[in-house]
Amino acid sequence: MSNNSIKRIILILFNMLILCFVVTAKSNRYEKDTTINSPLITNSYNDTVYNSVLEAAMGIAQPYLLQQKYFMMAGITVSGNAIVCNGVTYPVSESYFNPGTGYYIASTLYAQYGISNFSAVWPTECPNAFYDSATHSFSSKIDCVGFGTRLLSAVGGTTSTTNAYLNLLNRIRTNNVAPFASKGFVATAYQFGIAFPTLKTAPKPGWEYVSGNICATSVIDGYNHVLRSTIGTYNGVRKGGFGLCKAGDVLAFSYDSLASSNGHWMVIEGSPILLDAAGLQVYYPKASAKKVKAFVVAHKVYAVPVIDDSGKSAHFNDSRTSYSGIGHGTVLIVADTADDAPVGFIFSPSTNISYSPIDTSHCYAISVGRFTSAVQLPIQLVSLDAVAHNKEAVINWQTNSEQNTRTFIVQHSLDGVRFNQLRTIKAKGGEANSYSIIDANPDKGNNYYRLQIIDDEGKIDYSKIVNLNMYKLVDDISIYPNPARDIVMIKAMDLTFVKIIDNVGRIVLSKELKDVTNPSISIGGIRKGVYHLKVQTLTGENYNASFIKE
């Protein structure tokens, strides 16, 4: 094997190791450093039919997540409650409330918003989360389920079998075992939460019941008949395996008639992370280590990243620290140690470790549903990025599902339009996988990369396009002094954030920067040892380096 081949293998392993560190660290804290490379959605924002629930959630939430600085995109800055892209200011606003004036956009106004696809799914009125091309503004007047039904109406297609919202509505109403909204109206969070446990079969494509728990069926049955006296007997069941949930699943809570709301609706952004005592201690810094350890022995506790619509800081550790509305949050789900069924939830941890349980006086159900679209990609990509290292481009991607996928073809372009084949990779198959390849000769300017994805039947789909600008990059970042005692100097231009990660993957320092060149970072407060540093530039490039703290 040549020296160059050995170096490339070592480089790939190094990048995968750093990625492992970052993923592990993010699982505990969910730092707001997710970078997206897709263009700002404007004219197509109102009329896009998405392949999956997660894709729709990210697409509809995009301007809000950018404004909250949870997502970052090259060329986009934030100015108060607005985002600025290519010199154009896009106001982003929301009023969170249950149905009332402005909650819906009337069907007579659909043409004004450029809507055609939704009219087949939502013929009466559509929940208000829209982009107005006349004022260059994103606005919404909805609650969590308004966001959810607006989102589901845009997933899959426009027929009763292919559309996510109509598919669920028709299955529940046909089974006649739970109340559910009519076509053209918003269901409640309560109705979603108790609907999933009634889905005993899992047609492909369509909805399936992933995991959940309900209080006494007789209690739910009684309440259902108050809401709609003509429905049949409720037949929802408990189902374990909450840890098997994945990105794109819908998590719904059903509250009882005496609660201040009827529940909550959200889309799971990534697989639940099972917390150990150290992980849970992050959320309860003031609780004693003894109590934290006792709690994780008695229960399973999952940190679940979600995209939803709620008031400011409704979830612990979320992106809505300065602006309420559609955004990212972290929910803690408490599960049974025996069958892994959810038994309660934590929205806002306090000093004392406790949770809101499923019982007959507060929460009737916690459940998770999954929609598989007939038109979805043969693969579900978690991430795709391109980073520079030693004048080479490293292209990394991760999947969480590979359905009959045969091949990845990594393609390269100099203009983002005309692509040439760079490398062919055989798909590993199964569930989650990670891949990494090197482009040893990228152009000195812009380099665009995408994946051509071919399934077992020869059908072709494409990933998003990512851009790597090599023109502004230094050969690599350098850190000095190294070893360092109190301060490290980072030699690099136009930095927007820096993160220091220890050798077990924990983030020990995370700092946002404002287009800084050659910054000095204080490290006096961290322990001695080997650390890995990750920085990002204004144009979205990422660098990794290591140093020793004396």
Whether 262 contacts 146, CB under 8 Å: no
> What H or E segment, with its residue span, contains residue 190?
helix 189-195
63 & 149 share domain:
yes
Q: What is the pLDDT of residues 383-395, one digit of tens each?
A: 788 887 777 888 9
424 & 363 share domain:
no
Contacts (Cβ under 8 Å, ≥6 apart) of 87: none
- Single out the residue in 351, 372, 393 at which a domain terminates: 372
322 & 360 share domain:
yes
Instruction: Establish if 31 belongs to a structural domain.
Output: no
pLDDT at 503: 62
Rounded CA-CA distance 498/509 in Å is 8
Contacts (Cβ under 8 Å, ≥6 apart) of 474: 491, 492, 493
Instruction: Establish if 503 belongs to a structural domain.
Output: yes
Instruction: Establish if 15 belongs to a structural domain.
Output: no
Whether 236 contacts 223, CB under 8 Å: no
pLDDT at 471: 60
Rounded CA-CA distance 208/226 in Å is 27
Instruction: Establish if 119 belongs to a structural domain.
Output: yes
Higher pLDDT, 257 or 49: 49
Residue 36: pLDDT band (50, 70, 90) is: low
Question: What is residue 193's DSSP assignment?
Answer: H
| Range name among 67-71, 104-108, 300-304 with the lowest pLDDT average | 67-71
359 & 293 share domain:
yes
Higher pLDDT, 203 or 137: 137
Q: What is the pLDDT of residues 413-467, one digit of tens each?
A: 876 666 788 999 998 887 778 898 999 888 877 788 988 888 776 666 777 778 8
190 & 272 share domain:
yes
Whether 225 contacts 196, CB under 8 Å: no
| Range name among 104-118, 128-142, 267-281, 523-537 with the lowest pLDDT average | 523-537
449 & 526 share domain:
no
276 & 142 share domain:
yes
Contacts (Cβ under 8 Å, ≥6 apart) of 290: none
Classify each residue of 340-369 as buried b or exposed e, where b means 16 or more C-beta atoms within 10 Å of its C-beta: bbbbbbbbebeeebebebbeeeebbbbbbb
Instruction: Establish if 20 belongs to a structural domain.
Output: no
pLDDT at 493: 75
Whether 431 contacts 405, CB under 8 Å: no
Q: What is the pLDDT of residues 118-132, one digit of tens each?
A: 888 898 899 999 998
- Single out the residue in 412, 439, 469 at which a domain terminates: 469
Rounded CA-CA distance 193/213 in Å is 9
| Cα separations in angstroms, 483 against 489, 519, 547 | 11, 17, 6
| Cα separations in angstroms, 269 against 230, 247, 266, 497 | 37, 5, 9, 23
Instruction: Establish if 40 belongs to a structural domain.
Output: no
454 & 519 share domain:
no
The token pair at 176 is 């006649």
| Range name among 52-66, 172-186, 203-217, 316-330 with the lowest pLDDT average | 316-330
Instruction: Establish if 17 belongs to a structural domain.
Output: no
348 & 258 share domain:
yes
- Single out the residue in 316, 342, 372 at which a domain terminates: 372
Domain count, the chain: 3
| Cα separations in angstroms, 230 against 176, 184, 214, 253 | 9, 20, 22, 24
- Of 71-80, 110-119, 266-275, which one has max mean pLDDT? 266-275
343 & 211 share domain:
yes
Q: Which domain does 507 fall in, by range?
A: 473-549
Q: Which of 407, 376, 450 is nearest to 55 (CA)?
A: 376
Query: Please, is 403 exposed, middle or buried when counting C-beta atoms within 10 Å of its C-beta (0-12, 13-18, 19+)?
Result: middle
pLDDT at 24: 33
362 & 296 share domain:
yes
- Of 22-31, 102-111, 314-323, which one has max mean pLDDT? 102-111
Which domain CATH number covers 415?
2.60.40.10
Rounded CA-CA distance 261/148 in Å is 16
Question: What is residue 541's DSSP assignment?
Answer: -
427 & 359 share domain:
no
Instruction: Establish if 2 belongs to a structural domain.
Output: no
| Range name among 160-169, 347-356, 358-367 with the lowest pLDDT average | 347-356
List, in sequence order, the alpha helices (H) in 266-407. Answer: 277-283, 289-298
